[in-house]
């Protein structure tokens, strides 16, 4: 997840930068200011989002891998236990 502050080209701000940065820090997510009109920060926002997605997918991969190892160990232990009972 990435917090995007848009319309930074306007002189009047609805949300102050400091407030947006505080919210992003509270949720532990990146904050990028952009302007669709001038394209300021748009590329940075896109690449920041791509990096966040890659981190998520990578962590999800290791979680799934850990779960598979757990299942394999459980199956091995169950099979060993079943053989002892025969």
pLDDT tops 90 at residue 18:
yes
pLDDT-derived band at 65, boundaries 50, 70, 90: confident
Q: Residue 31: beta bridge partners?
A: 3
pLDDT tops 70 at residue 82:
no
pLDDT tops 60 at residue 31:
yes
* Distance of alpha carbon 66 from alpha carbon 30, whole angstroms: 28
Domain range for residue 21? 3-85
The total of structural domains in the chain comes to 1
pLDDT tops 60 at residue 86:
no
Q: What percent of the chain has pLDDT over 90?
A: 56
CATH number of the CATH domain containing 9: 3.40.50.300
């Amino acid at each position: 997840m990435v917090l995007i502050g848009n319309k930074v080209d306007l002189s009047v701000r609805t949300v102050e930068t400091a407030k947006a940065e505080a919210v992003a820090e509270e949720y532990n997510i990146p904050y990028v200011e952009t302007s669709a009109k001038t394209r300021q920060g748009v590329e940075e926002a896109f690449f920041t989002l791509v990096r966040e997605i890659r981190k998520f997918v990578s962590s999800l991969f290791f979680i799934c891998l850990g779960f598979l190892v757990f299942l394999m160990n459980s199956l091995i232990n169950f099979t060993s236990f079943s053989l002892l009972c025969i």
